[in-house]
Structure 1
Amino acid sequence: MVRVFNHWFSPRKAVYFLAEETVLVVALLAGASLGPVAAQASGAAAPVMPAILRAGLASLFFAGALYLGDLYDLHAAVRDRADGRRLLRALGVAVIALGVADLALQLVLPGWMLHRSLVLAAAGGALGVIAARVLMPAVVGAPTRVLFLGVGPRARDLARAVEREADGLWEVVGFVPSEGSRTIPVVAPELLRTGAIGEIARGVRAQVIVVAMEDRREGLPVDALLALRTGGHRVVDDVGFAEAALQRIPLSLVRPSALIFDEGFRVSRATRTGKRTLDLLVSAAGLLVGVPVMALVAAAIWLSDGRPILYSQERTGRAGTAYRIWKFRTMRRDAEQLGAAWATDRDPRVLPVGRFLRKARLDELPQLWNVLRGDMSFVGPRPERGVFLSELKGRWPLFALRELVKPGITGWAQLRYGYGSTMEEQAKKLEYDLYYIKNASLFLDLVCLLATAKVVLLGKGAR
């Protein structure tokens, strides 16, 4: 894993997707070149630069369709290799979008898109994507082999999470008890290794050694780990490995005292200024452009369930400051007559029109005013209600760290985990919030905004 602008990426995934885009552009060029060349009576060669620009533009449609189909998730891509239905749907969407774009561009730049080569270009692009997907295992390579120093719940639970969530990029090859360890092994017997950590690491060809001991006072083999480290192996602690591989910080692993010495959890003044500038520009533009949509939404709510149109509620923002959040009302007027409660799947309190508004995220539009005022940002932890905060902070003291940044309309936790309607789910979301707060940057915000666009288009995760 490599860190890019405070965000962890897999270099192998990046290399694969770069290779796929290269193959795609070449395939589009090859397909498109067959049409114009055959049709030219004069025999003159077609200009090169316009052809490259056309291929680059077309490749964006294919890449966008693959992204919307979750085919840049290696787990989904590998599962789809068996029948290819997800890939075929994405290719169909790309070809249709390319055709629509061709017709639209014809009105703006007549003659720039070559209709005679459109079908051949689309065919070339589709074949290029299929070829790149067939070659995926060869490009991505074998999973990185991971050896855990530790045989307790910390090591076992982290290993399970990595194998389940980390795109199949890691392979657990064993667990080694530390010298003098009194921890009862809770790992699979066939993966339990006994002996010197150095010999075992070389024997199982481990590339990464993760220190996941329950208590390092039981005997951390410092000399052996140092020898492995200087010998070319990566030696990392369990929290750092989880952060890079899972892109969250598991509460079961983190020791609050260790955060005192952590380099993260500090948002620079430049980042704050950049975020605020982006918030002001986008919220102002969104409010101006969104007026007609908001008028239609207000009319739909009024016709469905009368007034009030808007829903106001007190939330807690940065530094624990209280503010009022505004949304379009999507629930019945008596939704909380029995007290405050999180929304659930198929919540009976939600109005029929409210289900559509929630799915399309249109109920969030009035929050643009909160962003413009400075109460919120576009990206940040979900703003929480004060009625739940005291219990959440009591059970998980690290919940207070969410107040280091402004709450957001969208955020890393909302995108990676979704909606949390129980205390346990709130704890899981906190793990993603901690990752975002520790690594906050404009780049990570842009990643979140891109993922949010996909969620809105596909209507995922609404309740």
Structure 2
Amino acid sequence: MRKPLIILLSGDFLLACLSLALGILVRFGTLTGSEASEIGGWQLAFFAAVLLFSGFFVELYSASSDYRKTELTVRVFIGLCLAFLILSASYYIFPSLLIGRGVLLSALVIFGIGQIVWHSASPMLNVVPGFAQKVVILGNGALGKQIEDLIPRERNNFVFAGYIKAAAEGPMGPDKNVVGTMDNIFETVSRIKPNKIIVSLAERRGVLPVKEILKCKLSGIEVIDALNFYERLTGKLLVENINPSWFIFSSGFRVTRFMCFYKRVLDVALSLTGIILASPLMPLIALAVRLDSPGPVFFKQERVGKGEQAFTLIKFRTMRNDAEKNGAVWACKNDPRVTRVGHILRKTRLDEIPQLFNVLRGDMSFVGPRPERPEFVETLKEKIPYYSKRHFVKPGVTGWAQVRYPYGASVEDSLEKLRYDLYYIKNFSVFLDILIIFETIKVVLFGRGAR
């Protein structure tokens, strides 16, 4: 998680604690009375945790959450309503967590007002000395320009301070934003005083000024590769600039036996839970599909799984039975082949319920790259570098690419989703899986990305 988001979360946590204290003060007129003293650490921690979860659910902490005041206010209000419902239900089930209706309402109102002010003012932290981190880019070629363009688009506390020009790269325009050259790197950084140097040289062999960069490193300036910086900011990999040695020497891409064991246990638990919860719905969905259009209830199709082994994917049918009479094609927006019931199933993701049986059988995982068709895989392997690397893990019902990028229907979309898939494989962890599952709940509820 990037530093500004940690600060935003920390601010909201402190704000939740302060709001509860002020709520107690408003309700009882004191923080030390007998009624006030009954509210302890567990109630406070639970109150704060629910508020942070609600903020996450309404996307107040997402990378693209640069909202205007009106939208911010609406999201904060929805988050407070969600928090109120969760807290009310929890207090009914666990009375020991109860903090009282008067205190709760006062604390929520105070927190809502404070959260709007805090989130509106937080971008101004970037102008505070010591908070905003200056970034100098070594190399002013295409990769360097891409990094420069990326910095203001992502939520971060980085400020672009200029390029150190590399003769071999060629200038981006008339030496725009160049603050120094490769001959005087240490002198330049001593003058600019950046926090980081981003190395974005397309070719480093015989060009990289190792001694100068080492002097910068030993003087306390962080030196980071452009590809790693891109990954840190975006949550994806810059596939087209990666070479095989980067895969070999970079951290990550390591799956232990314990990880595989936990993953399988989680898959079985989630798929069984999902099947049990969905069992009352499945006959109704099957009947709706059958009545809406002629053809089978289930749609079965060959997909490519782990190790590029084919398996049969099962879904509820959402298209006409003759949808691919002319061959395999990607689904498109407002696809005329989708039936009326199919449109609803796709929008709500209910068509994917039968995939839980694929997970239970071991063909798929609950979280992983989206399984693709063999016809498309062969084409994409020819056109996209490292595409086959996504098949080192099981495909998933949901995944990092599915929650971060809309439905892909072209080679360009597949390249963008591959960036996210490889990021997931590189950074595979329990925490990331749980994060993806929570993000999936939001995607389903808000109906994003379906076709």
Q: What TM-score comes out, normalization by structure 2 length?
A: 0.91
Q: Name the stretch that deviates more: 155-164 or 449-458.
A: 155-164
Corresponding position: 1:150 with 2:142: no
Distance 1:221 1:311, change over 3 A: same
Partner of 2:6: 14
Partner of 2:414: 426
Corresponding position: 1:281 with 2:269: yes
Corresponding position: 1:122 with 2:113: no
**DSSP-derived class of the 1:217 partner:** coil
Query: Identity over the aligned pairs, expressed in percent?
Result: 33
| Rounded Cα–Cα distance in structure 2 between residues aligned with 1:276 and 1:264 | 20
Tell me the amino acid that sits aligned with residue 172 of structure 2.
V
- Cα RMSD of the aligned pairs, angstroms, is 2.5
Partner of 1:317: 305
Tell me the amino acid that sits aligned with residue 10 of structure 2.
L
Distance 1:102 1:250, change over 3 A: closer
Partner of 2:160: 172
Distance 1:64 1:89, change over 3 A: farther
Tell me the amino acid that sits aligned with residue 243 of structure 2.
R
**DSSP-derived class of the 1:311 partner:** strand
Corresponding position: 1:216 with 2:204: yes
- Counting matched residue pairs gives 444
| Rounded Cα–Cα distance in structure 2 between residues aligned with 1:371 and 1:188 | 56
| Rounded Cα–Cα distance in structure 2 between residues aligned with 1:105 and 1:172 | 46
Tell me the amino acid that sits aligned with residue 82 of structure 2.
A
**8 Å contact from structure 2 (residues 73, 116) kept in 1:** no
Indicate the structure whose relative CO is greater, using CA pairs within 8 Å and at least 6 residues apart.
Answer: 1
Report deviation, 1:242: 1.6
Report deviation, 1:437: 1.1
5+ unaligned residues in a row in structure 1: which ranges?
1-8
Q: What TM-score comes out, normalization by structure 1 length?
A: 0.88
Distance 1:102 1:430, change over 3 A: closer
Map 1:366-377 onto structure 2 (within 5 A).
Answer: 366-377=354-365
Report deviation, 1:182: 3.2
**DSSP-derived class of the 2:315 partner:** strand
Report deviation, 1:367: 0.6
Q: Name the stretch that deviates more: 310-319 or 448-457.
A: 448-457
| Rounded Cα–Cα distance in structure 2 between residues aligned with 1:56 and 1:131 | 22
Report deviation, 1:107: 5.2
Distance 1:425 1:134, change over 3 A: closer
| Rounded Cα–Cα distance in structure 1 between residues aligned with 2:25 and 2:303 | 58
Map 1:288-367 onto structure 2 (within 5 A).
Answer: 288-367=276-355
| Rounded Cα–Cα distance in structure 1 between residues aligned with 2:371 and 2:230 | 25
1:170-193 CA distances to partner (integer Å, 9 max, x unpaired)? 222212223xx3332125733123
Q: Name the stretch that deviates more: 326-335 or 138-147.
A: 138-147
Report deviation, 1:147: 1.1
Corresponding position: 1:93 with 2:78: yes
Partner of 2:230: 242
Distance 1:148 1:31, change over 3 A: same
Q: Name the stretch that deviates more: 389-398 or 169-178.
A: 169-178
Corresponding position: 1:410 with 2:410: no
Partner of 1:4: none
Q: Name the stretch that deviates more: 305-314 or 386-395.
A: 305-314
Report deviation, 1:169: 2.9
Distance 1:404 1:187, change over 3 A: farther
